[in-house]
Amino acid sequence: MKDPREVIIRPVITEHSYDMMNKNTYTFEVAKDSNKVEIRQAIEAIFNVTVTKVNTLNVKSKPKRVRMQPGRTRTWKKSMVTLKDGDTIELFNA
């Protein structure tokens, strides 16, 4: 089993992710090679909560430009984790 801190990279803080917190769903950036079972185990180990559902998606890169140099943003994997009723993650409430 991987170290939970290697699976979960960072929380994703956006307006949409804050709206999803009302439905007890939290959004994280995760390692690209992680699967749903590893994500579930990592969230439960780090935050001491019970996970009921894990949804994942790969965020594709977009073309960007800095002055005259064309480039692309990076690709990454996003995970939306739904917790059991009554469980919360205090990291987002601060």
Reference 86, options 54, 41, 50, 43; nearest CA is: 50
Say which DSSP state 11 is in.
E
Note the pTM of the prediction, 2 decimals. 0.90
Position 7 confidence tier, pLDDT thresholds 50, 70, 90? very high
What is the per-residue DSSP string for 32-73?
TT--HHHHHHHHHHHH---EEEEEEEEEPP-EEEETTEEEEP
What's the pLDDT tens digit per position in 19-75?
999 999 999 999 999 999 999 999 999 999 999 999 999 999 999 999 999 999 999
